[in-house]
Amino acid sequence: MQKLMLATSNAGKIAELRSLLEKHLDLSQITLLTPGDWPAPLPEVVENGATFAENALLKAQALAKATGLIALADDTGLCVDALGGRPGLHSARWAGPNTSDAERNAFLLREMRDVPLDKRLAQFVCVVALAAPNGQSVTAEGICAGVVLTEPAGSGGFGYDPLFLLPQFQRTMAQLTATEKNAVSHRALAITKIASFLPDFIIDRLEV
């Protein structure tokens, strides 16, 4: 059985990646692994890149080197126009270490409490990286535009999804069905772009 290492331990992201990848890969022939499945501790990656692409590559390359498998990683962030692009690269840690999604959302709302609705434009940005143990790598970017609401809505998704309104749906990312989200999200767009590399980059090179 062929194997692909996903460089995340986030349960919501793992489920989303599995759903997106099954559109492009035969998952009956490929086992998707996460760091929790590995028999030994894997290295903690310091995400000190200057861009989403650099951080995604750091994670993918570190896991590919440590496991000997093709690794897929993404780096994702919310970039708010009124905040000068913040939280951006620091989206997961902006409110402090070990904070919950609810705490990060509350922090974002406090930072934007004086920003009127017509000035709350934002973009979710996702860069997906594939890396091989031999050093080969490739990246793809997806961007989804929306508006940051003044209070959360919806119980689906994860991260900042409950605050991110998509104008074309007039619903937040957290209010979309999984099918709707996987058609328009930043991560879905990035996976779709990188899909053209999957047959050659993954299937022909994965270890059995």
At 20-57, the pLDDT tens digits run: 998 887 778 888 999 999 998 998 888 899 999 999 99
At 57-79, the pLDDT tens digits run: 999 999 999 999 999 999 999 99
Q: Residue 167 phi/psi, 5° resolution? A: -55, -35
Kindly report the number of other CB atoms within 10 A of residue 2's CB atom: 16
Q: Give, for 187, the enclosing helix (H) or strand (E).
A: helix 186-194
Distance CA 70, CA 177 (A): 30
The residues annotated as belonging to the active site are: 75
Q: How many CA atoms lie within 13 A of 158 on its CB side?
A: 12
Domains present along the chain, CATH in parentheses: 2-203 (3.90.950.10)
At 145-191, the pLDDT tens digits run: 999 999 999 998 889 999 999 999 999 999 999 899 999 999 999 99
